[in-house]
């Protein structure tokens, strides 16, 4: 299989960020707007 065909195929794992990444982005957004989520979350 050529390299171009392998890289052009979209895989859900590569497209979907991990839960850790999503959580980090959410915390970064909250910090930017000045919102602190409740500690029980």
Residue with tokens 């991990």: 18
Residue 21 has what pLDDT?
Answer: 93
Residue 33 has what pLDDT?
Answer: 93
Cβ count within 10 A of residue 25: 11
DSSP 16: S
Q: Hey, where are the domains in the chain?
A: 3-33
pLDDT in tens, 1-41: 455 545 555 555 556 789 999 999 998 998 899 987 677 65
Please give the structure tokens belonging to residue 4.
Answer: 């171009």
Residue 17 has what pLDDT?
Answer: 80
- pTM above the 0.85 mark? no
């Amino acid at each position: 299989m050529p390299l171009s065909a392998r890289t052009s195929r979209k895989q859900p794992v590569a497209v979907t960020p991990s839960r850790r990444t999503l959580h980090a982005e959410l915390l970064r957004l909250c910090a930017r707007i000045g919102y602190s989520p409740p500690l029980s979350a």
